[in-house]
Chain A
Amino acid sequence: MDLDPVALSRIQFAFTVSFHIIFPAFTIGLAAWLATLEGLHMATGNVLYRRLFAFWLKVFAVAFGMGVVSGIVMAFQFGTNWSELATRTGPIQGPLLAYESFTAFLLEATFFGVLMFGRDRVPRWAYFASTLMVALGTTFSAFWIMANNTWMQVPMAYELTASGDTVPTDWQEILFNDVLWVRFPHMLLGAYLTTAFSVAATGAWYLLRHRHLYAARTMLAMGLGLAAVLTPAQIVIGHFNGEYTAEHQPAKFTAMEGRWQTEQPARLLLLAWPDVEAERNVWELGIPYLGSFVTKGNFSAAEPGIVTVPPDERPPFLIPFYGFRVMVGLGVIMLALAWAGVWLMAKGRLRDPEHLPRWFLWAVFLHFPSGFIAVLAGWFTAEVGRQPWVVQGLLRTADAVTPSLSGEAVLVSLLAYVSVYALIFSAGTFYIYRLLRAGLDEADPEPEPAAPQAPPAAGQGVTPSRPLGAAGGSFQPGAGTSAPRPDTA
């Protein structure tokens, strides 16, 4: 049996990195959400935020743990499987990843301990500061990863030595170029949207089951409210991502666009059924002129097809093509859901959740995984679209593999990762599901809004809470100890 170490290493990298990104995509946003809740609790004194914090901290702990352990694998795979890449581009990629561990990993890991175990050991401000440090750490981590990956997509500011190693010539350009500063916000917003929809979907789920009505409404309102603002921003930034791709990675761009032949003016394909063998689309649905307009801003520009790229420099066609459509399609659905939600809230329908249309709650609930799928689809588009290069135009994936590596060794490690990840993924998602199903802590009373004019109890300094001004109703301490919960079992 002749096992190909390159193919197996690619499968292993794709598998481990896809598994890993699911968790940061969730925890980057969750860390920010936790910091927001803690800040709101400090500012308003509303016990609801404290309860939401305690609830989501448990979910965060499980997801963060899985992100950490699967992330360690990534830090070593560049050397184990891609040593040629590590040696040759190490002078640029190495420092970027070293910065990640110095500024991000240690920060988030250390203050995560305070978050989990330090509540009664540090002053309140220090606890809040710890939530900020964890959120900052996850954000820094995303920045360095995007800086590193951007350099692999659009290598810049380097010169080559005689042995083919890259030597950095301008770090400022590597860190502050236009490409990175559209890709980093794109990732960050993707993570925030993933979390926003997870939180909103949890709220919708509880509302469907008539549980934790007040907390559920807050989650739904905050999640959809945030998504209503961020989704359009994400679509605009996504467009800029397309522009850099068209400029720097035309091969990837043509595959994303589904364009085989050069067109003038170019259409924008919405859907198609590509036939890779025949190098054409069997069936397609496109809008005339719009392809030229989206890329060049006029209605007559010529847009190159993939046939202009030499065959040995073309990426696989189907994954970037469909990956891009899945991502964009989910983005459009998220926009519709978020805006529909805000419209329903504006009409006051959220004040009495019984009047929220059930189809809408179901739709939000079912979009729990949308953010995750969109992030994965986007990464598949970006990474597969860069093939056959590992560093665009500079180093081919096939030349980057560890020379001494045997296919058998990769097969062994791949099987080990797959089985262990299958075990911890099924257990971890099951435990998160159980946490979500168990719901919020019952220790605190669950205040239900009563008459709108109800004053806060004297001496408690409790401010009526109106999360994002949308949850409606007033907080009345002590009124109604629990929401109707016919299905707590």
Chain B
Amino acid sequence: MPMDLQHFWGAVLALSILIYVLLDGFDLGVGILFGLNRDEAQRRDMMGSIAPVWDGNETWLIVVGTVLFGAFPVVYSIFLSAFYLPVALLLVALILRGVAFEFRYKTHRGRWIWDFGFVAGSAVASFVQGAAIGAMVAGITVDGRNFAGSPFDWVAPFPLLCGFGLVAGYALLGAAWLVLKTEGELRDWAWHWIPRLMTAVIVFVGLALVGTLIGDFRVVDRWLAQPWLFLLPVLASLAAWQLYRACAKQRSDWHPYALTSVLFLTAYLMLAGSFWPWLVPYDLTLAQAAAPQASLEFLFWGAGVVVLPVILVYTGVVYWVFRGKVAPGQQYH
């Protein structure tokens, strides 16, 4: 059975990252868009649309971190040492945006501080995540079981490009969420941002593609070896095209979030397809990085088969409790 548990925890890790990206992605995106809207009433509704759920969403990042620690401790060590400064930046950014939900309503004079923290924190957190993915694609220097590169390896054109790309991508997800959750002027405002952000994402993805080819990353060989992967960009292009059409027609408030999620899902599968079964590309595979069987089993019988399904159920229930449009101005505070 050893193979099975390694793959089980690999799958839970993959699922947690996907849930994190789709959920915290939209609330980070709303945080970025918050900076582009000056209307206080609309800002309140923007924050109100994510206030009940952002904390749970962000917790999936901790789930990702601790699943790595528990099931793939070597990978946890290598990634976090490789991204020492970006992780510190990410954490500071998440702190500033997290306290803003309470703090901005506790002061008038000092509100600008927390609003700035909310916008900058959301943007920086998104940027760092994108840059980290980019740096991983470009390759992390590993010696044995330790990171052996320099603290600024991630400051290179390709990772930075990915960082900006994810900022645009999360903002797109955030705009789609706002269309889904709000009404009136704010929803119109969000609708008009979607095509622009979609275009920005396409530009960054295009540049990243060029960067991948120029950079001669090993990932190219893997794509050529597995041609089915090329279906994914086709699917993504279809979703992008449908998103432009949905914006022109504005028939259903569900369309943007659903289509943007498809976009993120295809991008995610492209990444997964590029690296499977490597966890630290091309140094450690899933099997090489896995914790001992006794650790994986202990996690499996409690967290895996019992707690995880319960989590998915109550997360669903709470999203259902907060379903529907946010009533303008009717939020807490």
Q: Is the CB of B315 within 8 A of A91?
A: no
A119 to B80, CA, bound (A): 40
A428 to B104, CA, bound (A): 11
Interface residues of B in 151-182 (CB under 8 A from A): 151
B45 CB to closest chain A CB (Å) equals: 13
Q: Is the CB of B94 within 8 A of A72?
A: yes
Interface residues on A, range: 35 or more
With both beta carbons as reference points, the residue of chain A lying nearest to B63 in the complex is identified as A101
A106 CB to closest chain B CB (Å) equals: 5
Which residues of chain B are near A62, meaning CB under 8 Å? 102-103, 106
Q: Is the CB of A431 within 8 A of B73?
A: no
Q: Is the CB of B70 within 8 A of A98?
A: yes
- Say yes or no: A101-B55 contact (C-beta < 8 A), given A76-B80, A402-B81: no
Q: Is the CB of A97 within 8 A of B99?
A: no
With both beta carbons as reference points, the residue of chain B lying nearest to A419 in the complex is identified as B92
Which residues of chain B are near A413, meaning CB under 8 Å? 84-85, 88
Which residues of chain A are near B65, meaning CB under 8 Å? 75-76, 79, 101
With both beta carbons as reference points, the residue of chain A lying nearest to B95 in the complex is identified as A69
Interface residues of A in 341-392 (CB under 8 A from B): none
A111 to B322, CA, bound (A): 12
- Say yes or no: A87-B77 contact (C-beta < 8 A), given A94-B69, A98-B303, A168-B292: yes
With both beta carbons as reference points, the residue of chain A lying nearest to B53 in the complex is identified as A113
Q: Is the CB of B101 within 8 A of A417?
A: no
Which residues of chain B are near A302, meaning CB under 8 Å? none
Q: Is the CB of A102 within 8 A of B308?
A: yes
Is B314 part of the contact surface with A, judged by Cβ < 8 Å? yes
Which residues of chain B are near A93, meaning CB under 8 Å? 69
The secondary structure that dominates the B interface is helix
B5 CB to closest chain A CB (Å) equals: 12
A145 CB to closest chain B CB (Å) equals: 12
Which residues of chain A are near B77, meaning CB under 8 Å? 79, 83-84, 86-87, 90, 402
A141 to B66, CA, bound (A): 13
A266 to B52, CA, bound (A): 58
A67-95 CB contact bits vs B (8 Å, 1 = yes)?
01111110110111101101100111111
- Say yes or no: A118-B76 contact (C-beta < 8 A), given A405-B84, A417-B92: no
A411-434 CB contact bits vs B (8 Å, 1 = yes)?
011001100110010011001001
Interface residues of B in 38-80 (CB under 8 A from A): 51-53, 55-56, 58-63, 65-71, 73-74, 76-80
Is A116 part of the contact surface with B, judged by Cβ < 8 Å? yes
A402 CB to closest chain B CB (Å) equals: 5
Is B227 part of the contact surface with A, judged by Cβ < 8 Å? no
Q: Is the CB of A409 within 8 A of B146?
A: no
A109 to B67, CA, bound (A): 18
Is A21 part of the contact surface with B, judged by Cβ < 8 Å? no
Which residues of chain A are near B80, meaning CB under 8 Å? 76, 78-80, 83, 86
Q: Is the CB of B63 within 8 A of A106?
A: yes
Q: Choose from B55, B82, B147 the contact partner of A112 (Cβ within 8 Å).
A: B55
Q: Is the CB of B101 within 8 A of A434?
A: no
Q: Choose from A66, A92, A113, A406 the contact partner of B55 (Cβ within 8 Å).
A: A113
Which residues of chain B are near A102, meaning CB under 8 Å? 63, 302-303, 307-308, 311
Q: Is the CB of B62 within 8 A of A116?
A: no
Q: Is the CB of B298 within 8 A of A412?
A: no
Q: Choose from A71, A86, A113 the contact partner of B73 (Cβ within 8 Å).
A: A86
A309 CB to closest chain B CB (Å) equals: 31
- Say yes or no: A404-B148 contact (C-beta < 8 A), given A66-B99, A72-B58, A75-B66: yes
Among A102, A413, A417, the one with the most B-chain Cβ atoms within 10 Å of its Cβ is: A102
B80 CB to closest chain A CB (Å) equals: 3
A118 to B53, CA, bound (A): 11
Is A61 part of the contact surface with B, judged by Cβ < 8 Å? yes
Interface residues of B in 111-165 (CB under 8 A from A): 145-149, 151
A: which residues have CB within 8 A of B? Answer: 61-62, 65-66, 68-73, 75-76, 78-81, 83-84, 86-87, 90-103, 105-107, 109-114, 116-118, 121-122, 163, 165, 167-169, 171, 402-406, 409, 412-413, 416-417, 420-421, 424, 427-428, 431, 434
29 inter-chain pairs at a CB distance below 8 angstroms, sorted by A residue, are A69-B94, A73-B95, A79-B68, A87-B145, A90-B69, A92-B295, A94-B71, A94-B291, A95-B70, A95-B299, A97-B70, A99-B299, A100-B66, A102-B307, A102-B308, A107-B314, A113-B55, A113-B322, A114-B321, A117-B52, A118-B322, A167-B295, A403-B147, A404-B146, A404-B148, A409-B84, A417-B92, A420-B96, A431-B106
Assuming A99-B302, A427-B103, what are 13 further A-B pairs, CB within 8 angstroms? A62-B102, A78-B76, A78-B80, A79-B77, A83-B81, A95-B291, A114-B321, A116-B51, A118-B322, A171-B294, A402-B84, A403-B147, A405-B81
